[in-house]
Chain A
């Protein structure tokens, strides 16, 4: 792409007139270009294209019999115009990158962006800069996300179904695990992250899971050991949730799934208040006379309580809710996380929203509590700080809808940002269902194609140039293309996401050079802690212990 600046403004972007001979059909929305001003290079993105006539009458001319006339007019009287949005300004004298605060002059030359431009802005692949893909039409140039910035805040991955959200999530998780900057806890609703999952690409049968790639750095927990085994996965731990762990707040989150009204929700809080820790089990075991006497004591309505009991019976059908579980799942998860491992919790066949939300909420709440406590202690003693934890949740709009986000732990985590070193990676296909307040707190958003106006609006809320990016977002391919906006990239960028293939496997499993992981100075030095149990040992050993030779 070659052209010159035709007109422009700081707020509205620039119009570039394409040089004669350039083919507008070959310039895609979302590609990068550089405007060479007198002192600055303006790194910009193509956001729109149109046809303009110097003299509007010319637009109504018909095709002339003399091809020469048509050729003369094209590019002179009728202009192919590309609308670009300046994103970043680079001072050519010292190479410093800064936000755009001025505009280049008329007729400043515009050229395609080159590798060095991309590197100057997004950085070169290294231990903390993760190569996620390449700019559109520049497939040879790696484009990086700054992982240190990425994990500083909660993030979102959005896109219509079938656009590869899982794929993007897995890719980002690979980057995070490899970088060793944080631990992740993945609530894997469809059991796609831990072990091999069917790949979207028909040419290959399976995409390797995190456990296959990272071995001892990843532990698979499961709610459904049967399903895991059937798929040939050897889970590290089977999660069971005790009734005592379920609190009124957890039930409130799944009110829709349990079909509870607001009166029922109030009754739950009353139940918890009167029955204590064991409220749920005690309530479920109540016979009719017990309910009546309870109602009498507390002034509740008997019929309402009976209805509530019937509805809560649904929980009994969830096989992983146990009266006396063998082990405390939260403690085990914490042990693994403390050993620098990443935990994938598979739901197997328990993929109802009820199970997913309940488990995710219960576990996250307790883990968050522990993290908060630790960071408070750390503040007090000025000592150890938690290693950042990234919690991955799918169908996030269920947890973060405006109705519930204020009450759930997830809403809280999203709001408090990195204060306690716990952040979310929310994966969702209906971003419009997520509380706008939460949206505004999301640091980085990776967005595949969205077509619903409301969803596009939700994702772009709070970002500059939303109007420009809208066109870009709606014109993405359905596969392997995503828009990244926010904290971890200096500017919004459309990428062709890299392939998840053998080459990627090789690169991601190549050992990190020593010393790179040490950048995270505040991370706990767990190797020296003799009290920690053994989950950090090699994958093979674990397998032997669990399943014999």
Chain B
């Protein structure tokens, strides 16, 4: 478990991290088990702030080690939450690359998706459409991150990015400049 759902809607959910300083990587794949349904999402952003959300942390101008020594209590007043875009769900053996019929319930544990699952759900390129239109804002950045994460799991990363790139270009209305922005952040040549 890496977090717990604290806010949920059809297109995305927000989870609080188990530890304030542990957050799943941007663009990584996570899952929430909701009954016999597993909902998959991609981490689209993260935030760390004060526990009650009312105030802001104060600056101490000390190193991390000094702070740990002198002011250990301040860390327990922090919390980290991350948001995920929902890209599909699995029910039984079947993966459905679209929104589940109901959004995930609150307080369900969030886990990292394992490699096999990721390879399965990214075989078709539909998820790129979700990352591009990410509600958090920076779709290109998120798409590049997700693609990067998926590409490294592939036997032939280049082949995969090539295929994904072609789909992306269509999704982008054949805007080669935007495609370039994304592909250059994928780190596959």
Contact = CB atoms under 8 A, between A and B. Distances in A.
Interface of A: 20, 53-55, 57-58, 61, 64, 66-69, 71-73, 75-77
Interface centre among A57, A66, A68 (most CB of B within 10 A): A68
Nearest to A20: B166
Contact of B162 (A55, A64, A71, A77): A71
Interface of B: 158, 161-162, 165-166, 168-170, 173-177, 179-180, 183-184, 186, 188-189
A208 B82 CA distance: 88
A73 B176 contact: yes
Contacts of B161: 68
B166 A66 contact: no
Contacts of B188: 68
A68 B183 contact: yes
B189 A55 contact: no
Contacts of A77: 169, 174, 176, 179
24 contacts: A20-B166, A53-B174, A55-B173, A55-B176, A57-B175, A57-B176, A57-B177, A58-B174, A61-B180, A64-B180, A64-B184, A67-B189, A69-B165, A69-B176, A69-B179, A69-B180, A71-B165, A72-B165, A72-B183, A73-B169, A75-B166, A76-B165, A76-B169, A76-B174
A69 B165 CA distance: 8
B45 to A, nearest CB: 26
A65 to B, nearest CB: 8
Nearest to B158: A68
A55 B175 contact: yes
A456 to B, nearest CB: 37
B166 to A, nearest CB: 4
A69 B183 contact: yes
Contacts of B158: 68
B176 A61 contact: yes
Given A76-B166, A76-B169, A77-B169, A69 B174 contact: no
A66 B181 CA distance: 11
A16 to B, nearest CB: 19
A67 B162 CA distance: 10
B174 A66 contact: no
Contacts of A67: 189
Contacts of B173: 55
B112 to A, nearest CB: 28
A61 B181 CA distance: 13
Nearest to A65: B184
Nearest to B161: A68
Of the listed residues B158, B173, B180, the one surrounded by the most CB atoms of chain A closer than 10 A to its CB is: B180
Nearest to A54: B174
B184 to A, nearest CB: 6
Nearest to A72: B165
Contacts of A61: 176-177, 180
A537 B180 CA distance: 82
Nearest to A64: B180
Which interface residue of A53, A72, A77 has the most chain B CB atoms within 10 A? A72
A75 B162 CA distance: 11
Contacts of A72: 162, 165-166, 168-169, 179, 183
Nearest to B182: A69
Residue of A57, A66, A77 with most chain B CB atoms under a 10 A cut-off:
A77
A77 B175 CA distance: 8
Contacts of B166: 20, 72, 75-76
Contacts of A53: 174
For B174, B176, B184, B189, which residue has the most chain A Cβ atoms within 10 angstroms?
B176
A72 B166 CA distance: 5
Nearest to B183: A69
B175 A66 contact: no
B161 to A, nearest CB: 6
Cβ-closest 10 pairs across A and B:
A72-B165, A55-B174, A54-B174, A58-B176, A76-B166, A77-B174, A76-B169, A69-B183, A61-B176, A69-B180
Contacts of B168: 72
Given A66-B189, A68-B189, A69-B165, A76 B170 contact: yes
A275 to B, nearest CB: 84
Nearest to A67: B189
Nearest to B173: A55
Given A76-B166, A76-B170, A77-B169, A69 B175 contact: no
A98 B31 CA distance: 60
A77 B173 CA distance: 9
Contacts of B179: 69, 72-73, 77
A66 B182 CA distance: 11
A27 B99 CA distance: 45
Contacts of B176: 55, 57-58, 61, 69, 73, 77
Contacts of A64: 180, 184
A259 B170 CA distance: 72
A66 B169 contact: no
Contact of B165 (A54, A58, A68): A68
B77 to A, nearest CB: 45
Contacts of A58: 174, 176
B172 to A, nearest CB: 9
Contacts of A20: 166
A20 B163 CA distance: 11
Given A53-B174, A77-B174, A77-B176, 16 more contacts: A20-B166, A55-B174, A58-B174, A58-B176, A66-B183, A68-B158, A68-B161, A68-B183, A71-B165, A72-B168, A73-B169, A73-B176, A75-B166, A76-B165, A76-B169, A76-B174
Given A58-B174, A76-B169, A76-B170, A69 B162 contact: no
B32 to A, nearest CB: 33
A73 B182 CA distance: 13
A55 B172 CA distance: 10
Nearest to A71: B162
Contacts of A76: 165-166, 169-170, 174
Nearest to B167: A76
Nearest to A61: B176
Contacts of A66: 180, 183-184, 189
A69 B166 CA distance: 9
